[in-house]
Chains A and B, each alone.
Chain A
Amino acid sequence: MLEFSRLKVIWLWAITLVAAAAAIPSITATLGLALPAGIYAPKVNLGLDLAGGSHILLEADPSQVRQQRIEGMDESVRNKLKQANPDIRISDISNRDGALTFLVEDPSKVDAVREAILPLTNGAGLTGARDWTINVVDGNRFVLTPTTEGIDLAVSQAMETAVEVVRKRIDALGTREPTIIRSGSNRIVVQVPGLQDPQALKNLLGQTAKLEFKLVDTTALQSDIQRGVAPPGSEIVPYAAGKDGGPVGSIAVKRLGGIRGDQLTNAQVTNNQQTNEPQVAITFNTEGGARFAKLTTQNVNKPFAIILDGKVLSAPNINEPILGGSAVISGNFTTQAASNLAISLRSGALPVDLKVVEERTVGPDLGADSIRKGMIAMGVGTLALVAFILAVYGRFGVYACIALVFNVLMILGVMALIGTTLTLPGIAGFVLTIGAAVDANVLINERIREERHRGRRVFQAVEMGYKEASRAIFDANITNVIAALSMAAFGTGPVRGFAIVLLIGIATSVFTAVTMTRMWVAQWLRKARPTEIAL
């Protein structure tokens, strides 16, 4: 146990010094010192709770995706059957209650309908399931229900798009180093370090930015609109709340015949020449421009509504065909709202609405205060502990304390090397590890003392001390590993940061407190050959 070959001594020191040296950049950075440029300098990342910043968890509602799928199928079925020759008439179409149902007026055409709509469904996933089930009830009523597999696939695709859109929007804000990752089936985690006020970010992410142009149904009576009754083929859409007054209430627009404003190449905030109000100038791509030109050409002198996320921004008259592929959206905007809209339109619409279901924001002042107090507590705690250990264990305490210092450096160094994040509970974990690390030395030293009392010689007593104590040290650390792993598995951000510090600390403390001190003690015993030790 106390034999250390020259080679072993060299590599034990190599491990210790490399890991401890890796802590230097983090320490100098905290002290505000600069290192020479160009050398490899890994640093411990600070978590959002220390560095300040925002953690935002966004959630999409899968039932919205389901409804979108059903409405999309509604449109596809209508188009498909309209093209059929001879034409097939369907009626009593409903896309409510989680399914699309319709009646084929001529029961003899049921098979033709089935044949026509079958190509509209696709395979979903690897199990061979389809994304829709098609049933016929009462002879001629079709019921199309999206399958779970189909919905899951659609949600997954929508979330992939949503992550991209979110990324573009955050990049447009110019914030540094955001982390954007999918979490679970329908969530996105957004972490932005250094962001003190996430309000602007949340406004931006909360905007779906689905832009539509629909014709106003001028035949609708104002009294009907107020009662919420729309003429057949139309729907009632409320006005968006502008920054001051503006039109209130709702208008009726035609369901079909409008276009979507998703085929854009650019969107910019400009100022209206006459009113000096902010507005958003949009440029369509070729296809979108052609569709917009067609819509405006066919409906000159009729009003159309510009609808954003289900709210009417404005309903101007089409004075003349707009052929240039660009348009201007005015909507009683504040500058901030116009800027958000421009960013949102440029980055594309979100395929689903995203809601903020969790937010954790820490201001930089609170974080800095936590670091400062954490460092003070760690320093004072360590000094007090060193004094205590020296008083109780003398020379063996000196070894324990040197091991402790190396342990602290090694934890920091390993954290920097593997790129983990130090969180506020992580600082507590650090302090705790310092207190617990000496337990190994306590166990060993107590055992040596006992073995001496039983009359063993110094050399044998030390050897037995390390050997007998190792078993309890090992078992005790395994239980800590189990607890820390459990934390790492179930915890979120800060708690996981704490667990990682504990895990690293367990590994380094066993190394420094057991292996390294044993080497130092062995070297001293060999050199000084004491016949009596103070313990």
Chain B
Amino acid sequence: MKLLKLVPDNTNIKFLRWRVPFYVISLLLMAASLGLVFTKGLNLGVDFIGGQMIRVTFTQSAEAPVGPLRGEIEALGYGEPIIQRYGKPNEISIRMKLPAGADHDSGLSDKMARTITADIKARHADARVDGVDSVSGKVSGELWHSAVLSLGLAALAVAAYIWLRFEWQFGVGALFSLVHDVTLTLGMFAVTQLEFDLTIVAALLTLIGYSLNDTIVVYDRIRENLKKYRKMPMPELLDLSVNETLHRTLATSLSMLITLSALLLLGPGVIFGFTAAITLGIFVGTYSSIYMAAPILIWLKVTSKSFVPTESALDKQERMAREGV
């Protein structure tokens, strides 16, 4: 049986030759993403700013009466609704922000949700309310706080773990590449204005885990090669490590993309943003483990000597065994 080869054997692509231009591009993209997040802002969902998200299906209509609905809801005096389709043309989501300065009134979000759903049902006989998310200002503040906290803690914890298992330079590199991945994903949310809610935070956390997978595989190989080829210059050694793991990187990324595409195209529309975030993250994560995580080791002056003084008992045993052969 002839097996499919994703890349030819023994490739020797000089990835690291382009490290400076790619770093410049990545830093620019990161700056642009941050800029967009701060100027254009994220389209924060009700989880984080409070308000309502009401999903309605107009069971007897081919298309939801978006225009009239907008007017009717605006007339209730709580502000302007954001009405979007999700799935079929007769399925819509209606999003309302809490009016400014309503944070102290903890019962307001519930009152709004009641008024709006009652009004829609009264005016449209075929309206079926499929879901209501209603979050008060205080709860949304708490959710935002814990989301930021969990992202920050997870990032630091994985970086600390890598520092523990490798060297501090690797920890810094891993932290930088995951900050890069998360920042670019946030940038995508600022550009597309896809709704940013609690599940997106879960997606970002997943991303931290999975984008590090790639980084760890590359780092693991770099460490191994540093011990094996003690005289090889760093850029060359990094290129070798990346090339050696290239087939694996592609195979794994393709596996993830295959299942994620199925979820993106065929899966529930309600979690589209979530799947989109992880899918983008896989692309960015694969790229960053080659172009962000690896070159930083050169600049942080990792050499083969980095590993001699801290060689663990187990590694030493392995080395002795190897050298003894």
Residues in A lying within 8 Å of B, measured CB to CB? 57, 59, 61, 197-199, 202, 355-363, 365-366, 369-370, 373-374, 376-378, 380-382, 384-385, 388-389, 391-394, 424-425, 427-429, 431-432, 434-436, 438-439, 442-443, 446, 449-450, 453, 468, 471-472, 475-476, 478-480, 482-484, 486-487, 489-492, 494-495, 498-499, 502, 534-535
Contacts and interface: CB of A to CB of B under 8 A. Distances in A.
A198 B117 CA distance: 11
A337 B146 CA distance: 39
Contacts of B153: 486
Contact of B216 (A356, A425, A438, A475): A475
Interface of B: 1, 3-6, 9-10, 55, 57, 87, 106-107, 109-110, 113-114, 117-118, 128-136, 138-139, 143, 146-147, 149-151, 153-154, 157-158, 161-162, 165, 198-199, 201-202, 205-206, 208-210, 212-213, 216-217, 220-221, 224, 244-245, 247-248, 251-252, 254-263, 265-271, 274-275, 278
Contacts of A472: 216-217, 220-221
Given A357-B109, A482-B158, A487-B154, 17 more contacts: A358-B134, A358-B136, A360-B133, A363-B129, A365-B128, A392-B5, A392-B6, A428-B267, A429-B206, A432-B206, A439-B213, A442-B252, A443-B252, A446-B245, A453-B10, A486-B154, A498-B199
A359 B113 contact: yes
29 contacts: A199-B114, A355-B106, A355-B107, A356-B107, A357-B135, A358-B109, A358-B139, A363-B131, A370-B270, A374-B267, A374-B268, A378-B262, A378-B263, A381-B260, A392-B251, A425-B274, A432-B260, A432-B263, A435-B259, A436-B210, A442-B251, A443-B217, A449-B247, A472-B220, A475-B161, A479-B213, A486-B153, A490-B147, A491-B198
Contacts of B114: 199, 202
B258 A388 contact: yes
Contacts of A486: 150-151, 153-154, 157, 205
B154 A432 contact: no
Contacts of A427: 267-268
A271 to B, nearest CB: 27
Given A359-B110, A366-B55, A392 B258 contact: no
A435 to B, nearest CB: 4
Contacts of A483: 154, 158, 205-206, 208-209
A475 B215 CA distance: 10
A505 to B, nearest CB: 11
Contact of B202 (A360, A471, A499): A499
Contact of B131 (A202, A361, A425, A443): A361
Contacts of B213: 436, 439, 476, 479-480
Contact of B268 (A197, A424, A439, A479): A424
A428 B200 CA distance: 12
Given A357-B136, A373-B268, A476-B213, A446 B128 contact: no
A449 B245 CA distance: 12
Given A373-B267, A381-B258, A495-B202, A365 B217 contact: no
B199 A361 contact: no
Contacts of A202: 110, 114
A450 B275 CA distance: 34
B198 A385 contact: no
Closest 8 CB pairs of A and B: A381-B262, A483-B209, A435-B259, A490-B150, A486-B154, A480-B209, A356-B110, A377-B267
Contacts of A480: 209-210, 212-213
Contacts of A360: 131-134
User: Helix, strand, loop or mixed for chain B's interface?
Assistant: helix
B130 A365 contact: yes
B91 to A, nearest CB: 9
A435 B209 contact: no
A471 B259 contact: no
Contacts of A365: 57, 128, 130
Contacts of A490: 146-147, 149-150
Contacts of B133: 359-361
A384 B262 contact: yes
Contacts of B149: 490
A187 to B, nearest CB: 9
Contact of A381 (B147, B216, B259, B269): B259
A52 to B, nearest CB: 9
B322 to A, nearest CB: 12
B146 A380 contact: no
B128 A479 contact: no
A483 B143 CA distance: 18
Pick from B110, B161, B261 the residue with the most CB of A within 10 Å: B110
Contact of A487 (B129, B150, B252): B150
B255 A385 contact: yes
Contacts of B134: 356, 358-360
A357 B110 contact: yes
A500 to B, nearest CB: 12
A494 B270 CA distance: 13
A491 B204 CA distance: 13
Q: Which of A429, A479, A486, A499 has the most CB of B within 10 A?
A: A479
Contacts of A495: 198-199, 201-202
Contacts of A61: 106
A420 to B, nearest CB: 16
Given A393-B3, A482-B158, A484-B209, A492 B198 contact: yes
A32 B255 CA distance: 31
A378 B198 CA distance: 23
A534 B212 CA distance: 30
Nearest to A471: B220
A289 B268 CA distance: 59
Contact of B255 (A373, A388, A453, A471): A388
A112 to B, nearest CB: 43
B262 A431 contact: yes
Nearest to B105: A355
A64 to B, nearest CB: 12
B216 A534 contact: no
Contacts of B262: 377-378, 380-381, 384, 431
Given A431-B260, A435-B256, A479 B216 contact: yes
Nearest to A383: B262
B209 A482 contact: yes
A98 B223 CA distance: 65
Nearest to B111: A356
B258 A384 contact: yes
A427 to B, nearest CB: 7
Contacts of A438: 252, 255
